[in-house]
Amino acid sequence: MKKIAVFTSGGDAPGMNACIRSVVRSALYHELEIYGIKYGYNGMIEGDIYKMKSYSVSNIVQRGGTILKSARSKDFMTKEGRKKAYEQLSSRGIEGLIAIGGDGTFTGANIFFEEYGIPVVGAPGTIDNDLFGSDYTIGFDTAVNTALEAIDKIRDTAMSHDRVFFIEVMGRHSGYIAIQSGIGGGAELVMVPETSTTINEVINALQKGKDAQKTSSIVVVAEGGEEGNAHEIAAKVAPHLPKADIRVSTLGHIQRGGNPTAFDRILASRLGLAAVEGLLNGEKNVMVGIIDKEVVYTNLKIAISKSKPLDQDLIRLVEILSI
């Protein structure tokens, strides 16, 4: 293998740039030609592909977002689109791909490999931390710390005005950000998609806090909860607690930006190197991850189809610490 390419796809995550940097310099270290594909699968189809050098990734390890840009591609979902992408790669002699992204990115990579056989190694870049095959994904730690900083600041306001705050964090299908930022932020309750929390349970928890002389409360809500988003939950709770001053704060895309933490920079760098060396060692159609501090490779089909359960001990910890 002499030529490989790297691209980012789907939602951006802090640390993607650190991973790109690692891929480029690891490839050059192993005397490979390395190409960057801009705008994900769209760029692959359109031929937005350029040769990268060591200086191409200078001064990016600390930056959020992705210098290769990202986009969702409807064309790549079609056979015609994937054929165009294959032709663009073939015309440049590119023999292997490193895909940095999440579930949707790897779903596309798996189909592409099955149709054309180009070896692909995925590096998990998603703040949701929901991919099976790695203890942590690139961007998760930064997103948790961003959410935690916001929760700390909202807590100050909640205490000053004796308010109940429902704080919505990202995680349509995953409660990892909610549970970790909730524990770190001292939340009275955390609502996640993995477990069912009824409105009555929310009301009881808040009433219990009031009975314990708490003057303010924080409820962290993952956006994909069964009872709805934070605004919907607050609206359902309000009639049952008429004396409570209830407010809602949705953190939104602030969690996807910002300078990556040291943890995310190191994780991304390790995964980038492991992705390049995985290709060189014959790995194909796999996701590289870190489990118990060791590099592992998981088949893409398994990584995107097998669920990654939330630690039930963390949910229990919220309940115990909120008394």
Residue 313 annotated as lining a ligand binding site:
no
Please report, for the domain that includes residue 281, its CATH number: 3.40.50.450
Residue 57 annotated as lining a ligand binding site:
no
Q: Is there a single domain that holds both residue 124 and residue 167?
A: no
pLDDT of residue 211: 87
- Tell me if residue 128 is catalytic: yes
The mean per-residue pLDDT over the stretch 254-265 comes to: 97
pLDDT of residue 231: 96
* Structural domain contains residue 323: no
* Structural domain contains residue 19: yes
Give 24-38 pLDDT, tens digit per residue.
999 999 999 999 999
CB 295 within 8 Å of CB 161: no
Residue 65 annotated as lining a ligand binding site:
no
* Structural domain contains residue 314: no
* Catalytic-labelled residue, pool 128, 130, 141, 264: 128
Q: Checking phi first, is residue 263 left (phi over 0); if not, alpha (psi -120 to 50) or beta?
A: alpha
What are the tokens at 13?
């995550």
What whole-number distance in Å separates Cα of residue 148 and Cα of residue 322?
A: 17
Which residues does residue 296 pair with via DSSP β-bridges, in sequence order?
289
Exposed / middle / buried, residue 187 (Cβ in 10 Å: 0-12, 13-18, 19+): buried
Name the nearest CA neighbour of 296 among 37, 72, 122, 56.
122
- The yes-or-no verdict on residue 261 having pLDDT over 90 is yes
Total structural domains in the chain? 2
* Structural domain contains residue 318: no
The mean per-residue pLDDT over the stretch 134-159 comes to: 97
Q: Is there a single domain that holds both residue 83 and residue 203?
A: no
The mean per-residue pLDDT over the stretch 168-176 comes to: 93
Give 41-84 pLDDT, tens digit per residue.
999 999 999 999 999 999 999 999 999 999 889 999 999 999 99
Q: Is there a single domain that holds both residue 126 and residue 181?
A: no
Q: Is there a single domain that holds both residue 102 and residue 188?
A: no
* Structural domain contains residue 315: no
Give 189-232 pLDDT, tens digit per residue.
999 999 889 999 999 999 998 888 888 999 999 998 888 999 99
Residue 155 annotated as lining a ligand binding site:
yes
pLDDT of residue 312: 87
* Structural domain contains residue 320: no
pLDDT of residue 291: 97
* Structural domain contains residue 48: yes
Q: Is there a single domain that holds both residue 272 and residue 297?
A: yes
| Amino acid identity, position 76 | F
Q: Is there a single domain that holds both residue 50 and residue 115?
A: yes
Name the nearest CA neighbour of 296 among 50, 121, 75, 39.
121
Residue 202 annotated as lining a ligand binding site:
no
- The yes-or-no verdict on residue 172 having pLDDT over 90 is no
Q: Which of 242-251, 270-279, 312-321 has the lowest mean pLDDT?
A: 312-321
Q: Is there a single domain that holds both residue 245 and residue 300?
A: no
Q: Is there a single domain that holds both residue 122 and residue 151?
A: no
The mean per-residue pLDDT over the stretch 112-116 comes to: 97
* Structural domain contains residue 185: yes
Look at the chain and count its residues. Answer: 323
Q: Is there a single domain that holds both residue 67 and residue 196?
A: no
Q: Is there a single domain that holds both residue 74 and residue 189?
A: no
Q: What percent of the chain is modeled with pLDDT above 90?
A: 91
End-to-end, the C-alpha distance of the chain in Å comes to 59
CB 138 within 8 Å of CB 264: yes
Please report, for the domain that includes residue 238, its CATH number: 3.40.50.460
Domain that holds residue 38: 3-139+260-305
pLDDT of residue 315: 87
CB 208 within 8 Å of CB 227: no
What whole-number distance in Å separates Cα of residue 280 and Cα of residue 19?
A: 17
The mean per-residue pLDDT over the stretch 239-266 comes to: 96
Give 85-100 pLDDT, tens digit per residue.
999 999 999 999 999 9
pLDDT of residue 168: 98
Residue 272 annotated as lining a ligand binding site:
no
Confidence of residue 249 (pLDDT cuts 50, 70, 90): very high
- The yes-or-no verdict on residue 319 having pLDDT over 90 is no
Residue 253 annotated as lining a ligand binding site:
yes
Q: Is there a single domain that holds both residue 13 and residue 60?
A: yes
DSSP-assigned letter for residue 125: B
Q: Checking phi first, is residue 119 left (phi over 0); if not, alpha (psi -120 to 50) or beta?
A: beta
Residue 92 annotated as lining a ligand binding site:
no
Q: Is there a single domain that holds both residue 199 and residue 216?
A: yes
Task: Answer with the one of 256, 274, 294 that is the final residue of a domain.
Answer: 256
Residue 22 annotated as lining a ligand binding site:
yes
pLDDT of residue 217: 95
pLDDT of residue 170: 96
